[in-house]
Each structure stands twice: as structure tokens, then as C-alpha cells.
A and B are shown apart, each in its own frame.
Chain A
Amino acid sequence: MLRINCPFCGERDHSEFTYGGDANIAYPELSAPLEAWIEAVYVRSNPKGPHRERWQHSDGCRLWLIVERDTLTHAITRVEPARTAIPGLMK
């Protein structure tokens, strides 16, 4: 069981969260060329070591987080809100 330290709710079991894939993917404009969309939707690296991932605290605050996790050791080094500019939330 991973323990994820949600910046809004505190440290919780990963079963409260939903994995949302690679956080390094920058989704293109909706009208971007086919190749850009293929790259964004289908092409993934499979790194051994630190990896930035998206997780939603779906059974908690429901906010999306960027979690830096080591794919080899499962060590989580950093958790931050995906959307840093949510007014009032981070005060």
C-alpha cells in the first residue's frame, strides 16, 4: 500500500486515490495535427526511477495531484496540487 501525502487532506492510503497516468504529457490543442495527438495519447516512456504521475484524490478532496514516485522503490518524494492557482485553497 502506498501512502500519499495529499497537500489538502494529509497522508492517506493510495486506495483513496485514482491513478491518472504520466504527468509529463502535455496534451496538444484540440485541433492539433494527428501526429501530435498520437504522441500524446499512445506514446509513453517506461522509466525506472523517479516518475511524475497524476493522481486524483477521488475519495477525498477530489483534487488532482502531481506525485513524484520512484517506480523501482515506490518511494514518493513530492506531492503537489496539479492546479497551483486555485484561489484560496493553498492559503
Chain B
Amino acid sequence: MTGFRLKSGGAIDRGKPLGFSFDGRTLHGFRGDTLASALLANGERLVARSFKYHRPRGIMSAGIEETSALVTIGSGARTIPNTLASTEELVEGLEAHSQHCWPNLRFDLGAINQLSARLFSAGFYYKTFMGPGNSPKSWLFYERFIRRAAGLGVASREPDPDHYESCEASCDLLVIGAGPAGIEAARVAAEAGLDVILVERDFALGGGLLQESEAIEGINARGWLLTRERSLRGASNVRVLSRTMAFGLYDHGVAGLVERLQPAAGVRERFWIVRAKRIVLAAGALERPLIFGNNDRPGVMLTSALRAYVNRWGVAAGTRIVIATNNDSAYAAASDIARAGIATMLLDAREDVSGPLPEMAKSAGVELRLGGVPVRAIGRQSVRALEVARIDGKAGETIDCDAMGMSGGWSPTQHLLSQRGVRPVWNETLAAFLPGEAREPVRCIGAATGIWRTDDCARSGRAAGAEAAHALGRSAPKEDFPAPGGWDYPIRPWIFGGIKGKAFVDIQNDVTFGDVRQACHEGYDAPELLKRYTTLGMATDQGRTSAVNALAVIAKLRGGPLDAIGTTTFRPPFAPVSIGALAGAERDQHLLPTRRSPMHDALVTQGARMLETGLWLRPWFYPQGTETVDEAYLREMRLVREAVGICDVSTLGKIAVQGPDAGELLDRVYVNAFKSLAIGKARYGVMLRDDGIVMDDGTSWRLGEHEYFMTTTTANAGKVMAWLEELLEMRWPDLRVAVTSVTDQWAGASVAGPLARDLLQALVADLDFSNDAFPFMGVREGSFNGVPCRIARISFSGELAYEIYVPADHGQELWRALLDGATARRGGAYGLEALGALRIEKGHVGGPELDGRATLDDLGLGRMASTKKAFIGGVLRTRPDLQRKDRPQLVGLVPVTKGEIFKGGSILCEGGNETGHGLGWVTSVTESPSLGHWVGIGLLKGGLSEWGGRTLLADDPIRGRRTLVKVVAPHFLDPEGKRLNG
């Protein structure tokens, strides 16, 4: 016989039947069921296959400690693997599948692994595939097969169609766990006026009270709970979050929660970041399994789970139940099960239990056997009988049963405290780890501190609520924290001798008593080593039921005390968190903000192909007809060289530097002089980091006595701004300068080419663009369509060129006017690709050269450094290693055979010596329509002085291209600068 629904009882709503499916079979449960309780009620005992051996597995628990009943929920894109049946709330239409079995759950071919169990013992993979005598390739070869044979469920590869959201919250007190302790803590704190958040993983509040048949503080448990829940939910200063798991505690009272929402909400999960002044942990305790042969058989469950299924869900796991225990807690469970009309036998390893406890069990109809311990469960796909040994050595017996419970004592749940670095302290009397001293305002209460009596749990909650109230300056009735414990008889050690067959320590990971023993013999007897060697405590349950049992096994094998072994540290998350919840709404285009230039819409309307560069969308090229990028950029370059081209440069960083000491600041941050720059002039400047490496370059324009307009590269705009702020606040607070980022305030365009002057003169009539009135590097402020504009005659392309800026709101207007003017002069727009190509032809450095390693001298800019003033990086750039002659230095490269191509990233080396990192690398290349061949620049050890005029190999092993190149000066076009002075 398997499980069935009792005629009455339980907190389920028998008037609300729900249909669901398991492996395609339609089944029924009720509102209030979990998937596990509904499966049990339908007699489904075999629900999963195990990780390594494909052993049949059933439902083992009624909560988060489940090791066995892992199922896949949903299908297609909504597939959620490795879901615990014991915590999954039953909803209409729920679709569940068994996982990790083939062809099906009942007949699973993978179960053949059980026959070769010896192969899969501790350290099997290491010894067989990675040890001496195996090439690294053997593991790579076998891994595929092993991964297929062992494992859990499989996630969907389709994009997640569900919505997730994130939520930020603050509160005075965060209470984690809504059992009697947590509820009382929240109530007392709320009554004292604190802002409280109460979190419960379950869909119902109550924790242990949900399966409690005994009264709490003289009141029926269900009634007590109902009153408390009503007042908490009604209080305006309490937020009750059920279906919410607290998965992590972080510094300064920050907690991470995931709330599971009802399908009707349209959002699957909500991610909470809660900042709490104080935290109360009332996460309860988890019952430990006993270790005996076949303790993983379907039908073998935790005793507390058997009780929960009877009391909360009205489900019996079998008709003849044997419960094996070493502690008092099983007596109430056995009594409740017997009272439900099920033949129940209680097997207590202890021989000296007498008085009210056994009397209560007997009067409930429990058959009590003292001094007996389980050694092996009998039955293949389900337990049929239990082989029992006598603790006094007398002959044992075999007891028929169709389900059994095990209770090896209780482990307080302190994972969240452990995440905060608080080490637990072993209490031998209670056989439990109790919380250690926390440095932070985090208080553990209830069963999580080893308090076993419900009344005491409630009392500890009130004490914690009052403590929080007092700490935050409120008043509340003072209550003392009760002492842990509360059993009539001491617990007995629970690792018994005489185990027969495969006895699991970690059921989820198929780690047996034998594996732990073997690992200990091989020296892996520290918890952290054992975990890695055997996989004990890994996967979804993270050792919730196995960790303390493993320590007890090691202690028994070593013959020493348990607390001498050490513990593992728990890290977030307490339970798996879906990637969707972590990502929230920040996916796809919402992952990062998109920055658009003020001219963006005009560029797109015109047909620009945009390119993502950092956060910016910038015009890459402007295809005409079916032009490719390579065709387009060459045409756009010709527009610039032969007529006039316009390019959106609004993304450049722009900083207003204002104040009497503005010039002094620039003198200190740039290697060259700016204080002496005349009003109405611009200058190209380079700034270094403290360590003497180039940080950024750009032009700064002197607009007035006390005002400069600094431009930076697009990529470094934020960095330079923060750098100036740091210098002004941290190092030179005496300088009278204000820096303001005005990047977003100005729209800018470069206007370059022989007809640039003609074009601008037509648009900005109040300025005289003649060479004398507006010389090279001149800066003028004028008006464009009645709007103030600022213009500098500067050139990145080597042509006669200007940069013109207008207030951002007028960016599109400027662009359209420039485009009309350029088109009328047989010019047009050019994009980033052409912009880069034009500067390479001129040998100007850009992003690929300013790579955070190059010095001024490396880039051939050493002569810019002033000798008359000190500047940032000026001292450290003189370090001997930065002055070496064999450093990679900027050179120009042209192919030896004119028609040949070479690519950026190629390694420069001497032909026949293509080894290691070579002599340097190619940083930027372009086809040059003016010269009729490819040109490039690169960084080469020894630079021009050593290699000028010589031939090297540009080796591109990744693309499989090898080109002979000649090393030349990095100025390919118009080195005298005649064009820009034109």
C-alpha cells in the first residue's frame, strides 16, 4: 500500500479540488496542497531517480530539506528543473515531470549504474580520469558521457518568457521565518511601533505550528495562529511576505529575498533588496535522517514529514508505519499518526525512556519498542519491511511496514548566520550546533537556537521583538530569552553500528557511509576536503540534512569529539535563485542605458548605420544603396579629402573648467602648457596618470581669462571628469577652479575638407572664417540661426577642419543645415569608420594606441612634455624602465606589395622568427584611397630608430594572414600639414 488521503483533517480546502499532472497522468489534489502532499495522496511513491546510481527515490520531507523529490515543472520555455515537490504549491493545471531517467521513471536504464557502484565510489573521477597515467585529454573525452549519466534536471534553452521585477525596501526589523518565534518577534516589535517586514518561505504562515496538534500557550495552535496572522496582516507598519525566501544576508543589514508571485500577477518572481536596522532569524530546525541500509528507499521519510502530511495535509504515507528515533520529538509525531488510525510502531534507540512521554504514545495507540535501531530497509522500489537490531546485542527482527520515519535529532537552521561569518558552537547535550556570537544586530531565535518547545519558541520571539524595540528607542514589555533544549530525555548518538547495505549520508548526491569512510581513510577527513572529494553537501540542498550527519560519521570513525572536526561555511544563496530573478527587468536592451547623441534622430533619418560603442550609439557609416561598410568608408574619406565631410562628434567628453586658477589646473594635468594659451586659441593636450602612462588626450579651448572648454575622448569622458574632481578635492583644495561636465549640453560636429570654410561661412555669417581672421587653432564664438555657437579650427583628419558646437537642443537643426550645405558642395556625412581611417592616414593616436600601457615617448609625443613646469606623471615617466629604448613605440606600416592587406592585432616579427609575442603589434589599419594601398600604425619594440625602412612580417595566425610590411614614419599623408593650413 502506498500513501492516501485521510477522510478528514488537514489545513487543505477540500471544497477546492485542483487538477495537475505528473509524467502526463492527470491527478487531483486540493487547494493548500503542495505537489508532494498531492502526489502522496494519489499514491505516487516513486517520483525521482538519484543523481549517480539512478536509484528509485520518493518524497523524503515536507519542506526545504528535501533531498530526493526533485522534479521538473512546466515545459518548453517555462521549464523549471530541480524543483522541490515538497515546497511547490499546488495550483490548477500544474505540470510536473520526473527528471534524470530514461526511458521512464519506473524502468530507468541508467539504474544499471547501481551494478557498477564500486566504480563510482569517492574520488572515482579524480583517480580514473585525472590521476597519474592519464593524459588531460582523457577527462575531456569521458566528461561528456559522465555528465550525461549523472546529473539532475535540464533547463530550457529557450529565452525566458516570464517577467521578473526587483524591489528595494527599508525597515527597522526584518524577521525571517514566520513560525511561533518569528510571529511573536514581529508582533511585539510592531506593537512597539517599529517598521517590520516578516518573511516566510511557505505559502502559509505558521512554520512548525502548521503541523502542531498540541496547544501553544494553552491555546489551540490553529486558533493562536489565526489571531496572530490577522493582527499582523492588519497592522500598517508590518509587511508580511509569504512565498518569500531569504537567500542571503550581506553587510550592514542588507538581505536578499525572492518572492514567488501568483500567476495572475503577471510577474513570476520579485527580487527584494531589504535594508534592515536589525534582523531576527527564526528559520527553525531541520530533522536529521538516520544512516542505515537503503535509507533512501521510497517510503522512508523524516518523521516530522510523516507528521506534517497527516496533520497539515490529511495524507498518510502508508498503512503500517515504523518510526525510528533517538530523541523525544518522534513521540508526538508517532502519536498523531496513530491517532489518525494508522498502525504505528515507534522504535527508540534509547532503552531507558519512561513516564509521561511513552505513556502518551501508548495511549494514542503507538506500539513502542525501546533499544532498537534500524540496520536496513527491505524492498526495491518501495520499502516493504525494516530490519532492526537490538542495541544490547540480542537478536534483532524484521518488521513489516509500508512506510517509515526516521529522526536522528534536529539541526537548527543557521545558514544565514553562517553567511555572516558567525561560527556555530556544538552542544553535545542537545546534539546540535547552536548559534555563535554575532557582531551585528542579528538575533537568532526559536528552534534555530535549539529551543525545542513551542511555548519557549514563542517566548524567545517576544524577547527578540522587545530587544529590537529597546535598541531602537521604543518601549516594549521585557522578556528573557529562554534556554535551549526542552526534551524530557537526552538524545542518544545517532550513528549506529551494524549498518547493512548502501547507507546514504548525503541522499541527494548519492554519497554513502562507505564513501565517507573511504575518504577518511584516504585522508580527506576535514569537512571542506570531504565535500570536494565526495560531493557531499553540494547541489541544490547544500548539505541541509547531510552536513551534521557527515561530521558525526567522521567523529565516530576518528573516535573524537564532533566539534574538533570543524564545519563548512555556508555562502549565499540559501536555496537556488533563478537567473531571471537576479536579472529582473535588466535584460536585453534594458541591461545598460543607451546614450544617444543630440543629433541621433537626424542621423538615423538620413540612413546612418549606428554602432554601439560603450553606452553610446554612434554613426558607423552612411550607406548609399547597397554599399557595404568597406565601400562606404572609402567613399566618405574621399568626400573629406576632396570636398567637405561632416561628422557627429557630440559624444566627446566636454568639461567647463572655470575659475581664476583654471589655467593652473590644466597646466598641472596636461603635459604641455595651457596657462600661457591665448584667449581665443585651442591646444591639443595629453594627460598622464600618476604613474606616467598616458591617460587621455583632447583639445582644450581658452574662452576667457578664467574659462576653458576641455574636450576628452568619448571613452574617457567620465574618467577624466572624476579625475579632475579628485585632484581638486583631495590634492589641491586651494585651487580656485570649478569643473562641470557639459558633455550633454553641447551638440558638436566636425566639418572637414577643402570646402569646410566655405560651408561654415555660409552658416555662421557673423564670423570671418578667412585664414587671417580665424587661423589654425583659433577659437571663435558666434551665432548659428540666432543660437550661440562655439567653433575651433582644429583637425583630426589633417584637412582644413573645424569643430562646431551648439546647445544640444539645436543639434539636429545644425546637422541638417550642415548636411544641406555639404551636399550642395558635393560633400556629405562621414561616420566612425571613416573618422578612424582619416586619423590613421595622419598617424594620430586613438583608442587602440592609448591602451593604458603606452607612455608619451612610446607614442612619439615626448616633445610635447613641458620642461618649464611640473605636471601629473611627470616624475614617474622618467623611471628607467619607461625610458628604455626597446619599449614598443609608434611606427607606421605599409605593405611591401602594394595590393596586400594586413589587419589590426597582427603580431610584428622578423620573417622566420614567428615566436612568442614577437616584436610588437599592429594597432590600427585602413585602406587609404589617397595613397592607393593599405596603411597601418603599430607599436614596435625599438620603434622607428631601430626598424625604420626595414621589412617585418605582420603575422595574423588567427585569421591565417601573413603580410610583409615596411616600417615607416607614422605620417602617411601630407606630413608637412599643408592641407590643414589651406
- Residues of chain A having any CB pair with chain B under 8 Å: 1-3, 13, 18, 20, 27, 29-34, 37-38, 40-42, 54, 56, 58, 62-64, 73-76, 82-83, 85
Residues from chain B with a CB closer than 8 A to the CB of A1 are 250-252, 254, 273
The answer to whether the Cβ of B872 comes within 8 Å of any Cβ in the partner chain is yes
Whole-angstrom distance from the CB of B253 to the nearest CB of chain A?
Answer: 7
B25 on interface, CB distance cutoff 8 Å: no
* A37:B690 contact, CB within 8 angstroms: yes
Asked whether A56 and B726 contact (CB < 8 A) given A37-B690, A41-B690, the answer is yes
B254 near A30 with CB under 8 A, answer: no
Other than the known A2-B252, A13-B254, A31-B874, what 8 A-B pairs have Cβ atoms closer than 8 Å? A1-B273, A30-B668, A30-B870, A41-B691, A56-B725, A56-B726, A73-B439, A83-B729
Q: How long is the Cα–Cα vector from A34 to B870 in the complex, in angstroms? A: 13
- Give Cα A54 to B250, complex, Å: 22
Interface residues of B in 125-139 (CB under 8 A from A): none
In the assembled complex, how far is the CB of residue A38 from the closest CB belonging to chain B, in whole angstroms? 7
**B275 CB within 8 Å of chain A:** yes
List chain A residues, Cβ under 8 A from B254. Answer: 1, 3, 13
Nearest chain B CB to A30's CB is how many angstroms away?
A: 4
A34 B725 Cβ-Cβ under 8 A = no
Query: Which of B331-339, B875-883, B911-919 has 4 or more CB atoms under 8 Å from chain A?
Result: B875-883
Whether A85 and B876, one on each chain, are in contact in the complex, defined by CB atoms closer than 8 angstroms, is no
Give bound CA distance, A83 to B734, whole Å. Answer: 10
Shortest 3 CB-CB distances between A and B: which pairs?
A30-B870, A3-B252, A31-B870
- The contact sample of 10 A-B pairs, CB cut-off 8 A, is A1-B254, A3-B253, A3-B275, A27-B730, A38-B879, A42-B691, A56-B722, A64-B729, A73-B439, A74-B252
Residues from 852 to 892 in B contacting A, C-beta threshold 8 Å: 870-872, 874-876, 878-879
Q: Which residue of B lies closest to A27 (CB)?
A: B731
A64:B725 contact, CB within 8 angstroms: yes
**CB <8 Å contact, A2 and B729:** no
Q: Which of A31, A33, A76, A83 has a CB less than 8 Å from the CB of B733?
A: A83
Report how far A75 CA is from B275 CA in the complex, Å.
15
Contact B251 A74 (CB under 8 A): yes
| Bound CA–CA A58/B725 (angstroms) | 10
Residues of A within 8 A of B725 (CB): 56, 62, 64
Given the complex, which residues of A lie within 8 Å of B731, measured CB to CB? 27
Report the Cα distance A32→B874, complex, angstroms: 10
* A3-B275 Cα distance, complex, nearest whole Å: 9
When the two chains form their complex, are residues B876 and A18 in contact, meaning their CB atoms are under 8 A apart? no
Q: In the complex the two chains form, what is the Cα distance from A20 to B730 in whole Å?
A: 10
In-complex Cβ contact of B871 among A30, A33, A74, A76 (8 A): A30
Residues of chain A lying within 8 A (CB to CB) of residue B722: 18, 56, 58
**Closest chain B residue to A30, Cβ basis:** B870
* Chain A contacts for B872, CB-based, 8 A: 30
> Residue on B with the closest CB to A3?
B252
- Least CB distance, A2 to chain B, in whole angstroms: 5
Selected from A27, A30, A42, the residue in CB contact (under 8 A) with B874 is A30
| B690 x A64 contact (CB < 8 A) | no
Q: Which residues of chain B in 734-761 are interfacial with respect to chain A, using CB atoms and an 8 Å cutoff?
A: none
Q: Which of B273, B690, B730, B874 is the most central at the interface, judged by chain A CB atoms within 10 Å of its CB?
A: B730
A31 touches B875 (CB 8 A): yes
Which of B252, B690, B878 has its CB near the most chain A CB atoms (within 10 A)? B252
**CB distance B252 to A41 under 8 Å?**
no
Q: Kindly list chain B residues whose C-beta atoms are within 8 Å of the C-beta of A37.
A: 690, 875-876
CB contacts (< 8 Å) of A40 on chain B: these are 690
Within B24-61, the residues touching A (CB, 8 Å) are none
Nearest opposing residue in chain A for B253, CB measure: A3
Q: Judging by beta carbons under 8 Å apart, are B870 and A29 in contact?
A: yes
Instruction: Flag if B730 contacts A64 (CB, 8 Å).
Output: yes
Which residues from chain B contact A64 at a C-beta distance below 8 Å? 725-726, 729-730
Known contacts A34-B878, A37-B875; is-contact A54 B870 (Cβ 8 Å): no
Partner of A41, one of B439, B871, B876: B876
A52 to chain B, nearest CB (A): 12
Give chain A residues whose Cβ lies under 8 Å from the Cβ of B874: 30-31
Q: A20, B252: Cβ atoms under 8 Å?
A: no
Chain A residues closer than 8 Å to B273, beta-carbon distance: 1
* Given the contacts A1-B254, A2-B252, A74-B251, A38 and B876 also touching, CB distance less than 8 Å: yes
Output the nearest chain B residue to A58 by Cβ-Cβ distance: B722
Q: How far is the CA of A83 from the CA of B731 in the complex (A)?
A: 9
Q: How far is the CA of A33 from the CA of B439 in the complex (A)?
A: 45
